[in-house]
Amino acid sequence: MRAEQVVPAEFAAVVADEDVVTVNVHVPDEGSIPGTDAAIPFDQITTSVGKLPEERSTPLAVYCRTGSMSTEAVQTLRDLGYTDLVELRGGMDAWTADGRELLSPVD
């Protein structure tokens, strides 16, 4: 089982892997990292599990704005049986501080 926090450069490499499902768990929508596959509010993971891969070993990359919501989401995902989880340490704030692009919120 893997559940780790990584810095933006490592997270970018994970997101670039086409086998990884990238999930933005921040609410409200404050933008997203390019390559994001789904937006599921951190407190709705359990009720939105149908939006996630059925196969619990599918690698998931999870992020929010600062890291607090993604930490809670990763714990919920672990409780649901997901075994390969990578979380962006510092969230979108760290991502942009590292000079990386953020897509605008969806209207």
Tell me the per-residue pLDDT of 1-48, one tens digit each, with 9 for 90 and over.
678 999 999 999 999 999 999 999 999 999 999 999 999 999 999 999
Answer whether residue 51 is part of any domain. yes
* Residue range of the domain that includes 77: 2-97
Answer whether residue 57 is part of any domain. yes
- Sequence letter at residue 55: E
Q: How many structural domains are present in the chain?
A: 1
CA 53 to chain centre: 14
Residue 9 CB neighbours (<10 A): 9
| pLDDT tens track for 40-56 | 999 999 999 999 999 99
Answer whether residue 28 is part of any domain. yes
Query: Which of 29, 2, 32, 40 is closest to 15 using CA atoms?
Result: 32
Strands (E) across the chain are located at 2-6, 21-24, 38-39, 60-63, 84-88
Question: What CATH number does the domain containing 27 carry?
Answer: 3.40.250.10
Answer whether residue 105 is part of any domain. no
Answer whether residue 102 is part of any domain. no
